Amino acid sequence: MKNLILIYLFLVTALTYSQGTPELITGNSNKLRLSSLKVEVNVIGNYATTTYDMEFYNELDRTLEGELMFPLGEGQTVFKFAMEINGKLRESVIVEKELARTAFESTIRQRIDPALLEKTSGNNYKARVYPILPNSHKRIVLTYEEKLITKNKRMAYQLPLGIDKKIENFSVDIFVFGEFTKALVKSKQFGTTDFIRKGNLYSAYVYEKNVTPNKAIDVILEKSVTRNEVLFDRDYFYASVPIQLETREKVRPDKITILWDVSSSMRNRDLKSEYSLLDKYFRYLNNVEVELITFNNTINSEFNYKIRNGNWTKLRSELDKQHYDGGTNFDVLKQIKLRSNEVLLFSDGLSNLGSIKELDNASVYTINSLPSADHFKLNRIAEERGGVYLNLSKINIKSAQYLLTNQKLQFLGIENGSRNLQVYPKNKKYIKGDFVITGKLSKKENLKLKFGYQNKVTKRIVVDLNNGVKSKRVKRLWAKERLKHLMRDKEINKNEIISLAKEYHLITDYTSMLILDRIEDYVRYKIEPPVELKREYKRLLKEEEKEKESTTEWINKGKEELLGNYQTVKDWYLTNFSNKNKREKETLSNLSQSDTISRNTDQDETVINNSQNLRENSGQDNISINTIPDETNNEVINKQEPIDYSKRVVSGTVKDESGPLPGVMVLIKGTTHGTETDFDGNFSINANENDTLVFSFVGMKSIEKKAESSSENIVMMESDNLLEEVVVVGYGTTRKTYVTGSAVSSITSNMLEGKVSGVMNVDTSNENSNVVIRGTSSIALASNNPLYIIDGIVVTETDVKKLNKESIYSIEVLKSIDAVKLYGERGKFGVIIITTKEGIEENKKEIEEFNLKIEEELELKGWNPEMEYLDVLSKEKSIKRVYEKYLKIRDHYSNSPTFYLDVADFFMNRKEKDLAIRILTNLAEIELDNYELLKALAYKLEYFEEYDMAKVVYEKILDLRPEEPQSYRDLALVYGLLGEYQTSFDLLYKIYNGELLVKDKERRFEGIESIAFVELCKLVNAQGSHIKLTEEQKELFRNIAVDIRVVVDWNHNDTDLDLWITDPLGEEASYKNKKTKIGGRMSFDMTDGYGPEEFMLREAKRGTYKIKIDYYSDAIQKISGPTILKINVYKNYGSKLESKKTVVVKLDKKEGSFEVDKLVWE
C-alpha cells in the first residue's frame, strides 16, 4: 500500500485505569476526531458485557490504515468485534491466527476493506482497520466481557472514561438483571442516578451532546443476602459461590527476596500502592532480612537490608533511585541463588526476552500495579509456587495485605466428583474472593465442594444444580474456563484450543477476529463467514472446488518447481565461467564486418549494433562494452578483427594493480584496427614494428606503447583517480597529530571539483580557494573548510596544498553529518581523506588504524539526519552523565525506534556494551508483539554477537509469524551460530522440502528456498556429524563453496529493495542482470518485503566489489520506524577459511540507491 499513514487507536478499559480514551492517532500524532460514542453495559449475575459503538471522522484528504490498540484488565476479554462496510455493520468471525493474518494482509494489498483483531502479549489486543476514507466516518463496534468481584454483598462495575475532546453525540445505557436492595450509578461528572426498575430489570442512561466525558462512571449493586448463584443451559452449568475468608496468619518469614522489575514497561507503575503494601507488610513482619534484586534484560543490582521495627527507609531510598529502562528477561532470574524461602516478584509479567524457568523452592507472590499486564502468567507463577497474585489495579491495599499475611484458602476438589466430569477448575486453586465452578454433566446433581488450608479440608459447600436460572451464556462461560485449563500447556493443547475457540467464538493466542469485505475472499481462504453470508459462501465454495485443482496437486507442482530451482543453482555452481567467456569472445570475433561498434562520444561508451543477435548467440541477457573514446578519432572502429597469422602478430597481457584486466580496448594509433583483452587480460593483434598501440579503459589512464616486441608485452594501467564517497556513522574521537615531508607543488580545490563525489568548489582562485562539501551550510563560506586527513592522520589545509597531484593514490569524502559523529565540531564541514602513493608503504600502520576505525563505525545511516539527541549526549563528560542525560531526554523520543538504535550504537562505540544492549532492548517494549521491531532488535543483537538473546527474539517472531518462511530461516541460522545444528537443519529443511508452500500460496517469497538450499549444503558439509541424515540427504546437500557471498535481509513487510553488486570490471549484478560475465549470480528479486536477496561468486577476481542497495521505500510509515537491513558479507563461504562480516544499516524515508559496504578480494 503506497502513501498510507499508520494510525493508532488507544482504548484502555481496565477497571481502575482512567485513560480509557478511544483515540485515532495518525503517524504524525494528529488525532482523528471521535464524533460519536455509544456505550451499552449489560450485567447478568456477576458477569458484565461492555459495548463501545464508535464513529471516527477522518478530516484528512488521504486514506488511512488504522490500528486500534487497547489493554484489558484481569479477567476481561474481547467478546465481539464489528465494522461498518458499505453502510452495514459486518460482524467478525473467529479464524486461526495465521490464516487470518494472511487473508487480511493479502486483502489490504488489493485495497479492499478488511479488519483484524488479535490478542498480543499479556491481555493486550490490537485491531488493524483499513481503509478509513478521506473526509468520512468509520464505525467500529467492540464488546468486552468480565467477571465482577463480589464482596460483602456488594458488587461494583466501572466504565473508565478519559476523553479529552468534545464528542458530538455521547450516550451510555446500563442494564442490570437480578434482585438488589441498592442500585446506583455514580459519576463525578454526571452526578448520581437511581436505576429505573421493571421487575428484575434495572436500567439507567446518560445522554449528552457536545460533551467531553473524562470521568469514570461507577455502578454500585448491593444484595440482601449472599447465596450460590447457578446458571444452566441443558447439560452445562455455571455456579458462583460466595466464600467467607477466615483470618489464619501464616508463619512469618525471617528472610524474604524482592525481585524488582526495572524494565521500560514498568515506568508507569503505581509506586504509591506498591510502597503502601510494602509498608504494611514490613510493619507486620517487624524484623526481617531483605534481599533486593533489580532486573530488566539482565540482573542489575543486588542489595541486602536488615529491617528493624518495620523501618525500611534505606530500602525505599534505593527503590526511589531505580531507572526503568530496557526489555524484560525473566530467564535471568535462574542465575539467582535464593537465601530466603519467600519471594515478592514486582512485575507486570510482560517478559519479551525470556520466560521464567525456576526459582528454587521458594513461595512466590506476584505483585503488579499496572492494568496492562500478563495477568494469566502472574497468576500461574504464583499458584505453581504456593503464592498468590496480588493485582493492585483491581484489589485495594487492605485486601492485598490480608492475602499476603494469611494462609491461603484452597479449593481441594469435588467430594462426589466423577473423573469423567468436564468440570473446571480441575486443579487445586487458591481462593481470593467468590469461587466460580463450571462444568458439563450428563445429569444434574448436587456438587459437594471441598476447601481448606495446606491441603487439609476444613470446609464443605454444597451447590444445588437443580435450582438455577437458564441462560444461553453458560456454554460460553464454560468454554472460557476450559480455555484457561488448556492454556496451562498451550503448545501441547494448540489444536484443541483452536477448535474450542472457533466453536465458542473466543479470541485466544492462536485465534483472531477477522472481517472481510467480499464474499469471494471468504471463499478464497475457506473462512466461514458471518451468518448473513453463509448461503452464498457455500454455493460459491462448491463452484470453486469444481474448477480449481486441489491443494495437494498445487503443492506437488510447487515442490517440482523447487527441485528445478535447486538444480539451477547446482548447474550454475558447476559452470566454468572462464571457458564460457572465452567461447563468447570467439563468438564476438566471428561477427560479420557489418556488425561494427559505433562510438557515442557523449556517454563515453560503445554500443554494439545488432546487439540482439549477439545476445542470442552468447546466451547473455545483456552485453555492453565500455571504452574511453579517442578524442581525435570519431570513425567507426572495427573491433576484434580476425588474426592473420601469416602476418606479424603482437601479443601480451594488460594488468592493473589488482591483476589481469579484461575488456581493455587495444587500437593501432591512427587507424580503426583494434581488439579487446579477454577474460585473463590477454590480447593479440596484427601490427608492424613502427605501429603505436593505444590501450584504453574506463577509469584508467590511456597508455601508448610501441609495438616493437611481438610477444610477452606486459602493460600496466593506472587508475585515473580512485574517487569514492564514503558514508559512515560513528561516535569516536581521534588524537590530533601532524605530518611532515616535502612536496613538489600545490594541490588546489580545482583538482577535486567534479572528480570527488560530494565536493564542490566555491572560490576558484588558486591560493585561497575553499573546498566545500555539498550539504554543509551556505552561511560564512569563508570558514566552511573541511577537515583533512592524509594517510590516516589529521592535517592542516596548508599541508594539503603542498601535495603534488601525481603523488595522490586516492581521495575519499565524509559528508558533514557523518564526519561530526567521528570528529565532533571539527568535522561539521565534512572530511576529505587523502591516501598518497608513498603513504601506502610508509604510513601503513596509520592508514590501517584509520580504515579499521571507519570499518567499525560503518553501520547505520540515519532515519533522521538531524539526530540532535546524539549531539546532546556527546556533550556530556562521563558515561554516567551520558546515561543520565539519555534517561532525561528519552520521553521525547520514547516511541521512536530510531532513537534507541542510535543511542545503543552511541554507547557501543564507547565500549559500554551492557548499557548499549539494555537501551536496544527497549525496541521490544515500544509496541508489544511488533514483529518488525523484533526483527530490528534481533539483527542488532546478532551484530553485537548476543546470539542467545537473538534466539529468544527470533523464537518470538516465529510464534508471531509462522506463515512466513523468513521466520524459520532466521531462527535456523542463529541456532547454527549457537551450535544447535540439528534444530537448525530441521528448520531449514522445512523450507527446502516445500513444507511451507501451503503457507505462501501467493508465492510472495519465491526464491527463499534456493537460498536455504545453499545454507543447508554448508551446514551438512560443515556439521554433518552432529545431524541425523539419511544417505539421500547426504547426497543432496553437496557443498557449495564460493569465494564471495552477500546476503541482505530487512525487517519490513511490503517493502521493496534490491541488492546490487558491482564487480572490479564495473559490471553490476542486480535483478536486471542476474548473471555476470565473471560468474556472479543474483537470486530471485524479493519485492514484497523481508528478503533475503543473495549474490554469489564462485571464483572471485582481484579487486573491489561494491555492495549497493536500491531502496523503493516502505508502503506505509510504521511505528517500527525506518527499514533496517542486515547484510552478511562472506569470504570463502563454505570453506574452512570462511569469514563473515555483518553490517546493519538503517534506511531513511527517501528512495534511491546507495553504497552500504565494500569487499576487497586479493
pLDDT of residue 636: 41
Q: Which residue has the cell 557489418?
A: 594
pLDDT of residue 282: 97
Single-letter amino acid, residue 4 = L
Pairing of strands 1093-1097, 1042-1050: antiparallel
Q: Which residue has the cell 602476418?
A: 647
**How many beta carbons lie within 10 A of that of residue 591, not counting itself?**
18
pLDDT of residue 546: 62
More confident residue, 251 or 582: 251
**Cβ–Cβ under 8 Å, residues 937 and 1051:** no
Q: Residue 360 pLDDT more than 80?
A: no
The CA-atom distances, in angstroms, between 219 and each of 15, 42, 52, 74, 232 are 12, 11, 17, 18, 26
Q: Which residue has the cell 547505520?
A: 860
**Cβ–Cβ under 8 Å, residues 135 and 550:** no
Q: Which residue has the cell 485505569?
A: 17
Beta bridge partners of 88: 85
In this prediction, residues 668-692 reach a mean pLDDT of 84
| Helix or strand run (H / E) with residue 33 | strand 31-44
Q: Please provide the DSSP assignment of 608-637 as one string.
A: ETTHHHHHHHH--S---B-----TT--SPB
Q: pLDDT grade, residue 31 (50/70/90)?
A: low
Q: Long-range CB contacts (< 8 A, 24+ apart) of 520-526?
A: 521/103, 521/107, 521/112, 521/114, 524/103, 525/99, 525/102, 525/103
Q: pLDDT grade, residue 6 (50/70/90)?
A: very low
| Helix or strand run (H / E) with residue 1044 | strand 1042-1050
pLDDT of residue 945: 92
Q: Do domains 4-148+154-225 and 591-716 have the same CATH topology?
A: yes
Q: pLDDT grade, residue 818 (50/70/90)?
A: low
Q: pLDDT grade, residue 582 (50/70/90)?
A: low
pLDDT of residue 1062: 95
Q: Which of 198, 73, 245, 209 is nearest to 146 (CA)?
A: 73
Q: Which of 672, 722, 718, 671 is nearest to 697 (CA)?
A: 718
In this prediction, residues 132-148 reach a mean pLDDT of 87
Q: Which of 533, 495, 542, 496 is nearest to 514 (CA)?
A: 533
Residue-wise pLDDT for 708-728, tens only, equals 777 777 888 876 543 332 323
**How many beta carbons lie within 10 A of that of residue 446, not counting itself?**
11
Beta bridge partners of 1161: 1103
**Cβ–Cβ under 8 Å, residues 366 and 394:** no
pLDDT of residue 769: 41
**Cβ–Cβ under 8 Å, residues 43 and 186:** no
The fourth-level CATH superfamily of domain 591-716 is Carboxypeptidase-like, regulatory domain (2.60.40.1120)
Segments making up each domain of the chain, as ranges: 4-148+154-225, 237-244+411-492, 262-405, 591-716, 722-857, 1041-1162
CATH architecture of the domain with residue range 1041-1162: Sandwich (2.60)
Q: pLDDT grade, residue 919 (50/70/90)?
A: very high
Q: Which of 735, 724, 717, 645 is nearest to 677 (CA)?
A: 717
Residue-wise pLDDT for 834-847, tens only, equals 888 888 878 877 77
Is domain 4-148+154-225 in CATH 2.60.40, yes or no?
yes
Single-letter amino acid, residue 192 = T
Q: Which residue has the cell 466516518?
A: 137
Residue-wise pLDDT for 1088-1110, tens only, equals 788 899 999 999 999 999 999 88
**How many beta carbons lie within 10 A of that of residue 397, not counting itself?**
17
Q: Residue 905 pLDDT more than 70?
A: yes
**How many beta carbons lie within 10 A of that of residue 645, not counting itself?**
9
Q: Which of 885, 939, 930 is nearest to 907 (CA)?
A: 885
Beta bridge partners of 810: 722, 835
Burial class (CB in 10 A: 0-12, 13-18, 19+), 679: buried
Sign of the Cα pseudo-torsion (764, 765, 771, 775, in order):
negative
Rounded distance, CA 654 to CA 713, Å?
A: 8
Residue-wise pLDDT for 437-480, tens only, equals 999 887 777 888 999 988 889 989 998 888 888 888 899 999 99
According to CATH, the topology of domain 722-857 is Ferric Hydroxamate Uptake Protein; Chain A, domain 1 (2.170.130)
Q: Residue 856 pLDDT more than 50?
A: no
Residue-wise pLDDT for 950-1001, tens only, equals 999 999 999 989 989 999 999 999 999 999 999 999 999 999 999 998 888 7
More confident residue, 548 or 665: 665
**Cβ–Cβ under 8 Å, residues 807 and 837:** yes
Pairing of strands 363-368, 389-391: parallel
Which one-letter DSSP state was computed for residue 921? T
The CA-atom distances, in angstroms, between 883 and each of 317, 325, 758 are 20, 11, 35
Q: Which of 346-350, 408-412, 426-430, 794-798 has the highest mean pLDDT?
A: 346-350
In this prediction, residues 1118-1135 reach a mean pLDDT of 83
In this prediction, residues 152-164 reach a mean pLDDT of 82
**Cβ–Cβ under 8 Å, residues 868 and 902:** no
Q: Which of 274-283, 696-705, 776-785, 1030-1039 has the highest mean pLDDT?
A: 274-283
CA atoms in the 13 A half-sphere facing the CB of 15: 23
In this prediction, residues 795-801 reach a mean pLDDT of 77
Q: Which of 480, 489, 669, 655 is nearest to 78 (CA)?
A: 480
| Helix or strand run (H / E) with residue 272 | helix 271-285
Q: Which three cell numbers stand for residue 30?
A: 494528529
* Listed range (25-39, 584-598, 906-920) with the worst mean pLDDT: 584-598
Q: Residue 155 pLDDT more than 80?
A: yes
What is the C-alpha radius of gyration for the chain, rounded to an integer number of angstroms? 36
| Helix or strand run (H / E) with residue 665 | strand 665-668
Beta bridge partners of 310: none
SS3 content of the chain, % helix, strand, coil (to 5): 30, 35, 40
Sign of the Cα pseudo-torsion (196, 200, 201, 202, in order):
positive
Which one-letter DSSP state was computed for residue 527? -
Residue-wise pLDDT for 265-308, tens only, equals 999 899 999 999 999 999 999 999 999 999 999 999 999 999 99
- Is the bond into 131 cis (omega within 30 degrees of 0)? yes
Beta bridge partners of 1141: 1129
Rounded distance, CA 1005 to CA 1089, Å?
A: 8
More confident residue, 1162 or 1105: 1105
**How many beta carbons lie within 10 A of that of residue 1159, not counting itself?**
19
User: What φ, ψ does residue 425 adopt, rounded to 5°?
Assistant: -80, 150
Rounded distance, CA 273 to CA 494, Å?
A: 38
Rounded distance, CA 565 to CA 363, Å?
A: 57
Rounded distance, CA 683 to CA 986, Å?
A: 52
Rounded distance, CA 647 to CA 650, Å?
A: 10
Q: Which of 843, 839, 821, 840 is nearest to 830 (CA)?
A: 821
Q: Which of 294, 295, 288 is nearest to 312 (CA)?
A: 288
The pLDDT mean for the chain works out to 79
Pairing of strands 787-790, 77-85: unpaired
Q: Residue 332 pLDDT more than 80?
A: yes
3-state secondary structure of 1158: strand
**Cβ–Cβ under 8 Å, residues 183 and 149:** no
pLDDT of residue 222: 87
Rounded distance, CA 760 to CA 725, Å?
A: 13
* Side-by-side strand order, sheet with 722-726: 722-726, 808-814, 831-836, 787-790, 793-795
**How many beta carbons lie within 10 A of that of residue 535, not counting itself?**
10
Q: pLDDT grade, residue 762 (50/70/90)?
A: very low
3-state secondary structure of 1046: strand
Burial class (CB in 10 A: 0-12, 13-18, 19+), 688: exposed
Q: Residue 768 pLDDT more than 50?
A: no
Residue-wise pLDDT for 857-874, tens only, equals 433 333 343 478 888 898
Residue-wise pLDDT for 997-1043, tens only, equals 888 877 888 999 999 999 999 999 999 999 999 999 988 999 999 99
Q: Which of 245, 243, 217, 214 is nearest to 228 (CA)?
A: 243
Read off the pTM: 0.68
